[in-house]
A and B are shown apart, each in its own frame.
Chain A
């Protein structure tokens, strides 16, 4: 454990620390950022009204659009002469968002990434291969400073030129690989193409994040690279990678609660949900300087547990992110995310087949039909085999979502695609 004093802090002490830091953060943003001042006044709240952590839910949410509306520096609490680094997330919708870091923010970030990498097996003896992109994206530099803080030998190779990457890993005796899980799979293929075997490399572990991935993908990466693969989570609005990370127990991702307070809310009502319930992750930063975030809606869907982990860490654990709240459907009163269906389908093979959810209302009852394109991997010459597949998908959906769906296998390429992406949802209900 990199920093047992904080990572394994007793919960009552941790909560005292959180409250102290929360108060300081609230006073600061209330005074210094007009956006927060107005937002707090609008709901009739002053920092003094927050008397315990339980009062956090009285504060208004912050959303991605607030960052865009205040682009570029409107939400910063410090002058630019104190900001030493900018990162940006491009986003697919036009205006980018910009985030800033003071010197102490960068130190904090390195500390959190050191925890992350240490949990993933990094020590000063490690050779760490960083194939996340360097630049405005937080992935490359975020991991970089954490790996240096651990004292590892850092190879800042960034993305691309995969054959060269494999050769470098082999020649340099790389022990830890950091990249996106899909790039790890690409590296697996490249190693095979080059006629190498994973035994010729010294790789022991990998930390993978920045995109959703399934347990099945983890299995493939672990088997083919002969490593232990760890999931890491973060977003630039909060700090970048280093928000939460898996420990060797692989029982969820520890969220650095001494610096971030997580909540799970119902994405529709905004109500805070009880522990263990699936909903949208909301994070308040309590020690960042340049760009504090109050109740930032991540749009990521997960669950939280605060039970102590077998590894000794006390910080809350979040489940692997299972979807985005923007895509949520309400079917028979149940919140359904297309990505939940996707992860079920992913577990049926190595890659998820194309699928489409069709929601309709017959009488007063919502009906969900799931079309699944038959792939080479799923196809069976037996009627029974295909019926079994349909049944398996139906049962998994029922178990995970609590609703019964009609599964229909369809021929390849029959689900309409727009610009290469299949249209995931058709809602025929007139609500």
Chain B
């Protein structure tokens, strides 16, 4: 499983840059990100090389941040690649809360970060169907 950082952001100027600067100054590298937002606020989800340090740094600066566990999996980078994986999960009745992609430079596969409620069940389904799952260490060091 991979530690993702979830950050609460108000929807106004300067909020995102503050977070990015804080991480930069702490020498933390952002590997991937996604934002979900409404008209009032957003949730920034980050994959970084040092997740625990990143949360501590952000909290120190008064930013609301927590660690959320997500699954990282490799999906063939070709038409229908993602659909196939999603169909396995769908068939097993596993509800996906959100997902986003994470582009790896050296690989032919796409990396997908995925958050589900039933993490253990989801991992079992992926293993059964030989979908490669990437560890936290692997993702942080990409």
Bound pair (A, B)? yes
* Chain B, Cβ-Cβ closest to A414: B10
**Interface residue? A164 (CB, 8 A):** no
Alpha-carbon distance A387/B38, docked complex (angstroms): 9
Taking CB atoms, residues of chain B closer than 8 Å to A199 are none
Residue contact B62 to A383, C-beta cutoff 8 Å = no
Residue contact A409 to B62, C-beta cutoff 8 Å = no
Contact residue among B45, B63, B98 (Cβ-Cβ distance under 8 Å from A411): B63
Residue contact A408 to B40, C-beta cutoff 8 Å = yes
Alpha-carbon distance A275/B90, docked complex (angstroms): 58
Interface size on A, residues (CB 8 A): 16
Interface flags for B31-47 (1: CB within 8 Å of A; 0: not) read 00000111011010100
* Chain A, Cβ-Cβ closest to B67: A381
Alpha-carbon distance A408/B38, docked complex (angstroms): 11
Residue contact A411 to B64, C-beta cutoff 8 Å = yes
* Chain B, Cβ-Cβ closest to A410: B10
B: which residues have CB within 8 A of A? 6, 8-10, 15, 36-38, 40-41, 43, 45, 62-64, 66, 68, 97-98, 115
Taking CB atoms, residues of chain B closer than 8 Å to A411 are 8-10, 15, 62-64
Residue contact B66 to A379, C-beta cutoff 8 Å = yes
**Interface residue? A357 (CB, 8 A):** no
Alpha-carbon distance A195/B15, docked complex (angstroms): 42
Contact residue among A381, A387, A413 (Cβ-Cβ distance under 8 Å from B66): A381
Q: List 7 A-B contacts (CB under 8 A).
A: A374-B8, A376-B66, A379-B64, A381-B68, A382-B98, A383-B37, A411-B9
Taking CB atoms, residues of chain A closer than 8 Å to B97 are 382
Taking CB atoms, residues of chain B closer than 8 Å to A276 are none
**Interface residue? A168 (CB, 8 A):** no
Residue contact A386 to B41, C-beta cutoff 8 Å = yes
Residue contact A409 to B40, C-beta cutoff 8 Å = yes
Counting from the closest, the 4 A-B pairs by CB-CB distance are: A381-B6, A413-B62, A381-B68, A383-B36
Contact residue among B8, B36, B98 (Cβ-Cβ distance under 8 Å from A379): B8
Taking CB atoms, residues of chain B closer than 8 Å to A414 are 10
Alpha-carbon distance A201/B115, docked complex (angstroms): 44
Residue contact A374 to B64, C-beta cutoff 8 Å = yes
Contact residue among A381, A408, A412 (Cβ-Cβ distance under 8 Å from B115): A381
Considering the complex, which residues of chain A in the window 380-400 have a beta carbon less than 8 Å from any beta carbon of chain B? 381-383, 386-387
Alpha-carbon distance A414/B62, docked complex (angstroms): 9
Nearest-Cβ distance from residue B68 to partner chain A, whole angstroms: 4
Alpha-carbon distance A412/B15, docked complex (angstroms): 12
Residue contact B38 to A383, C-beta cutoff 8 Å = yes
* Chain A, Cβ-Cβ closest to B36: A383
Contact residue among B15, B43, B64, B66 (Cβ-Cβ distance under 8 Å from A383): B43
Residue contact A381 to B45, C-beta cutoff 8 Å = yes
Taking CB atoms, residues of chain A closer than 8 Å to B38 are 383, 387
Alpha-carbon distance A376/B8, docked complex (angstroms): 10
Taking CB atoms, residues of chain B closer than 8 Å to A379 are 6, 8, 64, 66
Taking CB atoms, residues of chain A closer than 8 Å to B43 are 381-383, 386
Taking CB atoms, residues of chain B closer than 8 Å to A375 are 64
With known contacts A381-B68, A382-B97, A386-B43, A409–B8 Cβ distance under 8 A: yes
Alpha-carbon distance A411/B98, docked complex (angstroms): 23
Taking CB atoms, residues of chain A closer than 8 Å to B15 are 411
